[in-house]
A and B are shown apart, each in its own frame.
Chain A
Amino acid sequence: MDRAVRGENVYKVLVFILVLLGALIMIYPLIWMIVSSFKPELLIFKDKSLIIREFTLENYTRGFEGVGGVSFLEYMLNSMKVVIPVIIGNLISCSMVGYAVARLEFSFKKAVIPVILITMMLPVHATLVPRYMMFRVFGWLNTYLPLTVPSFFAMQGFFCYFFIQFMRGIPRDLDLAATVDGCNPVGIYLRIIVPLSLPAFATSAIFSFIWTYDDFFSQLIYINEPVKYTVTLALRQYTEALEMSAFGVLFAMSTVSLIPIFIFFISCQKYLIEGIVTTGLKG
């Protein structure tokens, strides 16, 4: 019996070491990038260790100066101009869908969820060219509107689905009581469902932020004037302008670009994990 217990313990220690090693390998590249961004350009590939022999902020100052006279702060501001309206749009429109499907009765209710699931699975390319033509007719090319306006029409199936699931879990007694007190559906939505769904709002807001902030494809297609570049487009521009010469700057700006996501990751992990588990969001 004693032996079995000891065997079990050895086994547990082995698993622990394996998991620890795996974790180190997983984050080593990230740590290396962050550390390297504080090294002088010439030393980055000479000394690849994680020890900083000569600490410098030059990569950051050079990076923030930007290429072509636009500072990196400007790019971050531009990203916010896209991300903030998208978050607002997604929260309003998708929570309305959630409420309608979770609580209201209407004729084609059964069709809504399948349609949402289909739009979730649809490749972005399927609508790409006609949407581009449509936005061109509207005169929206090279503005942020093609990136932000669709979010006001509940086009992110993931969030709709998430809100539906979440709101179904809210006890009905409360809205029944409110109905008896003469509250209409709009009132119930605003006074009862929305306040009780705040965790779902938080999760959706965080994922809206990360996906939109990281989205490269649509920004590449719709924005072509360097002054309007977002962080992702600016980074691409840096890779082209500084090719093979300024890894320090590239690393520094890549690190800066990841900071907002890091902040969400550290402060809102609970919401992130809840979101993934409930809907299988891709992360």
Chain B
Amino acid sequence: MLFLAPWIIGILVFSLYPILHSLVLSFTDFDLFSVPRFVGLQNYRMLLQDARFIQSCKVTTTYVFLGVPLQLIFALLLALLLNRGIPGLKYFRAIYYLPALLGGSVAISILWRQVFGIEGIFNQFLSYLGFSEEITKISWISNPKFSLHTLIVLRVWQFGSPMIIFLAGLRQIPSELYESASIDGANTFAKFTRITLPILSPIILFNLIMQIISAFQAFTPAYIIGSGTGGSLDSLLFYSLYLYICGFKYFRMGYASAMAWILMIIISVLVFFILKLSSGFIHYED
């Protein structure tokens, strides 16, 4: 009991109580300094009419639904390639993993601004490939048409940790399975869809859920690359950035709490649906 005491206190004081309190606050008008005023569902109603809120939902969903699948596809692809027994596996694994380790830092967001800026190395690369000036003079970071995509690329760049989990999963597939499939005349594609994918499916599901949860909360690159305001035309107004702006710039704490609850509901509904939908496809060994 003694061993669990800190944890129990922590859960009550730093998790359960704040969550319930934020639900209460979400029904109030509260600026942190005066007494919260009960306003019923007004915050939620206002959110639905708030163009910036809608924009932040769009930005975040695009980011999650493009970024996470791409990131996982790259992770799986590289894991499969690295699992082919190529020389120097240790070094390659390390290099591919490094961006995932560094990716969340402010330093990398600063770097990203320069890589995809007008003078950046991305444009340099494009001009090597022979693209015209029209294209190589675009600032991918500040052009609202492309800025979100540079952040998606940043997300995909960090595929190293799901890759390592996939690699560990691939290692556990007994090679006899592939051998007997070969004898039965299965080609590489059939082996992949009939053996590799089903066995990896719980790991794919796990990676998918964890990455979706973390992608919904993306904040650092949005803040640094969008200069803390959401970028031009709010193209980088991520959900958590807008929540931060409402709560800690405008001190609309009730409004921010309502946003927090909506986010929590969105994430849990999504995770619930993924689990429900996948239950038919997931293969668990017993």
> Which residue numbers of A lie inside 8 Å of B, CB to CB?
12, 15-16, 18-20, 22-23, 26-30, 32-33, 45, 48, 93, 96-97, 99-100, 104, 106, 112, 115, 119, 121-134, 136, 150, 152-155, 160, 185-186, 189, 210, 214, 216-217, 220-221, 231-232, 235-236, 239-240, 247, 250-251, 253-255, 257-258, 261, 265, 269, 272-273, 276-277, 280-283
- Residues on B with beta carbons closer than 8 Å to the beta carbon of A128: 18, 22, 243, 247, 256, 260
Question: What is the bound-complex CA distance between A123 and B220, given in angstroms?
Answer: 15
Whether the pair B3, A239 counts as a contact (CB closer than 8 A) is no
Known contacts A96-B3, A133-B32, A210-B101; is-contact A283 B160 (Cβ 8 Å): yes
Q: Are B96 and A26 in contact (CB under 8 A)?
A: yes
Contact of A125 among B121, B223, B260 (CB under 8 A): B260
Residues A216 and B220 in contact in the complex (CB < 8 Å), given A123-B264, A126-B261, A254-B111: yes
In the bound complex, CA of A228 to CA of B107 (Å): 19
Q: Across the interface, which residues of B come within 8 angstroms of A115, CB to CB?
A: 11
How many interface residues does B have (CB within 8 Å)?
Answer: 87
CB nearest to B13 among chain A residues? A153
Distance from A9 Cβ to chain B, minimum over Cβ atoms (Å): 12
For A19, the chain B residues whose CB sits under 8 A away are 78, 81-82, 86, 92
Nearest-Cβ distance from residue B191 to partner chain A, whole angstroms: 15
Interface pair A254/B247, CB less than 8 Å apart = no
**B3 adjacent to A273 (CB under 8 Å):** no
Nearest residue (CB) in B for A150 is B14
Partner of A282, one of B108, B119, B210: B210
Instruction: Give bound CA distance, A115 to B206, whole Å.
Output: 17
Shortest distance from the beta carbon of B163 to any chain A beta carbon, whole Å = 10
Complex CA distance for A131 and B209, rounded to whole angstroms: 26
Question: Is the CB of B190 closer than 8 A to any CB of chain A?
Answer: no
Taking a contact as CB atoms under 8 Å apart, the answer to whether B102 and A48 are in contact is no
In the complex, whether B27 has a CB less than 8 A from a CB of chain A is: no
- Using known A-B contacts A19-B86, A28-B121, determine if residue A96 contacts B114 with beta carbons closer than 8 Å: no
- Checking B3, B15, B101 against A97 with a beta-carbon cut-off of 8 angstroms, the contacting residue is B3
Query: Which chain B positions have C-beta within 8 A of A122?
Result: 15, 19, 264
Contact status A276-B165, CB under 8 Å: yes
Q: Closest residue to B89 on the A side, CB-wise? A: A19
- What's the least CB distance linking A254 to chain B, in Å? 3
A16-B86, A217-B220, A232-B105 as given contacts; A131 in contact with B3, CB under 8 Å: no
For A186, the chain B residues whose CB sits under 8 A away are: 2
| B248 at interface by CB-CB < 8 Å | yes
The minimal Cβ–Cβ distance linking B70 to chain A, given in whole angstroms, is: 14
Q: Does B257 contact A (CB under 8 A)?
A: yes
Which residues of B have CB within 8 Å of A240?
227
Contact yes or no, A235 B161, CB < 8 A: no
Please give, as numbers and ranges, the residues of chain B lying within 8 Å of A28 by CB-CB distance: 121
A36 to chain B, nearest CB (A): 8
Nearest-Cβ distance from residue A193 to partner chain B, whole angstroms: 11
Q: Are B17 and A130 in contact (CB under 8 A)?
A: yes
Q: Would you mind naming 9 contact pairs between A and B with Cβ atoms under 8 Å apart?
A: A18-B81, A32-B115, A97-B3, A100-B4, A126-B18, A134-B18, A235-B106, A247-B114, A283-B161
